[in-house]
Amino acid sequence: MAQRLHLVFGGELVDPSRNVFKDVDDLHIVGIFPDYESAYHAWKAEAQRTVDNAHMRYYIAHLHRLREEDSEASSTEELG
């Protein structure tokens, strides 16, 4: 069974109504988690910690969806 890794990250947005980071170099990488439940708990903790800043947003990225072993290679893999 394939691992289902999840990345939790966040940062300050230019505008709270858009998903554009103010400074990509200043992103907060919370960590990579082995399942959605633990990623969700980490996301929730960071979101609650920064609740007073309307420009801060945290996200959960499903890393396992970037590379599914049973699917064909992505177009970027074919370049190399």
The structural domain count of the chain equals 1
Whether 79 is covered by a domain: the verdict is: no
Whether 57 is covered by a domain: the verdict is: yes
Whether 48 is covered by a domain: the verdict is: yes
pLDDT in the model for residue 10:
97
Q: Which residues of the chain have pLDDT under 70?
A: 1-2, 67-80
Q: What is the CATH number of the domain that holds 45?
A: 3.30.70.2400
Whether 80 is covered by a domain: the verdict is: no
Whether 70 is covered by a domain: the verdict is: no
pLDDT in the model for residue 65:
83
DSSP track, 3-59: ---EEEEEEEBSSTTS--BS-GGG-EEEEEESSHHHHHHHHHHHHHHTTT-TTEEEE
CA 79/CA 68 separation, integer angstroms: 18
Whether 22 is covered by a domain: the verdict is: yes
DSSP label at 71?
A: S
Domain range holding 46?
6-61
